[in-house]
């Protein structure tokens, strides 16, 4: 049995990343398991512990950091920690499964450093910062301050896009899903 491969997807919020990942997972066309990260943020409505995240208290998260349970972890927003559990990744790879990670840009680049050619990093980009701002405004879930924060962070993330193995611009959703699938397929079959 060959070892599984890692796909890491990052994108500024509002780029359609979750929609793309969910559509690929639902289609089930690759032997692909989702790596469930740990976080100290509260669950949102509809989110389940162990499915979307392992929801930990801040103390539990710190203990997990201290005992080396994370491959990488980041304070993605002030006071909000997210980490990739070693146990999730290693178990899946050992069993020959491929694994997909939805993590922030710094986490993605760290996973690439650790796993090298086993991992392929894909950056999903909005067509432009202006378009991203328009989508966030249209979504209507954030007030003006939060939109400004997200847009500022997006600019920082887009600057790191050249360090990823691959970039997909989400101009048209179906095209972006198809392109992402091609990239995953090429990596898995390689
Ligand atoms: P959200 O709170 O909206 O679910 O996620 C916020 C951000 O944290 C997203 O950019 C997501 O990709 C990132 N994230 C989720 N899990 C991890 C993780 O394990 N490590 C890192 N570095 N970022 C993560």
| CA-nearest residue, atom 6 of ligand 1 | 76
Distance CA 11, CA 176 (A): 13
Query: For 133-190, how does the pLDDT look when each residue is reduced to its tens digit (9 = 90+)?
Result: 998 899 888 899 989 988 999 999 999 999 999 999 999 999 999 999 999 999 998 7
Question: Residue written as tokens 């894909």?
Answer: 122
**At residue 1, does pLDDT exceed 70?**
no
pTM above 0.85, yes or no: yes
* Contact yes or no for 23/9 (Cβ under 8 A): no
Residue whose C-alpha is closest to residue 130's, from 2, 9, 5, 12: 12
Pair of tokens at residue 64: 């997990």
* C-alpha 100 to ligand 1 mean position (Å): 13
* C-alpha 82 to ligand 1 mean position (Å): 6
């Amino acid at each position: 049995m060959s070892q599984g491969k890692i796909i890491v997807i990052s994108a500024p919020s509002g780029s359609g990343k979750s929609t793309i990942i969910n559509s690929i997972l639902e289609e089930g066309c690759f032997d692909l398991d989702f790596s469930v990260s740990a976080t100290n943020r509260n669950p949102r409505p509809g989110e389940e512990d162990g499915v979307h995240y392992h929801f930990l208290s801040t103390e539990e998260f710190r203990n997990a950091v201290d005992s080396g349970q994370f491959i990488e972890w980041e304070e993605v927003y002030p006071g909000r920690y997210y980490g990739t559990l070693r146990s999730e990744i290693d178990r899946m790879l050992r069993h020959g499964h491929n694994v997909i990670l939805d993590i922030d840009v710094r986490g993605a680049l760290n996973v690439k450093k650790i796993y090298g050619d086993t991992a392929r990093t894909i950056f999903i980009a909005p067509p432009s910062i202006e378009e991203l701002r328009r989508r966030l405004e249209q979504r209507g879930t954030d007030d003006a301050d939060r939109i400004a924060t997200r847009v500022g962070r997006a600019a920082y993330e887009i600057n790191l896009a050249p360090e990823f193995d691959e970039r997909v611009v989400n101009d048209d959703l179906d095209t972006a899903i198809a392109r992402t699938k091609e990239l995953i397929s090429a990596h898995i079959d390689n």
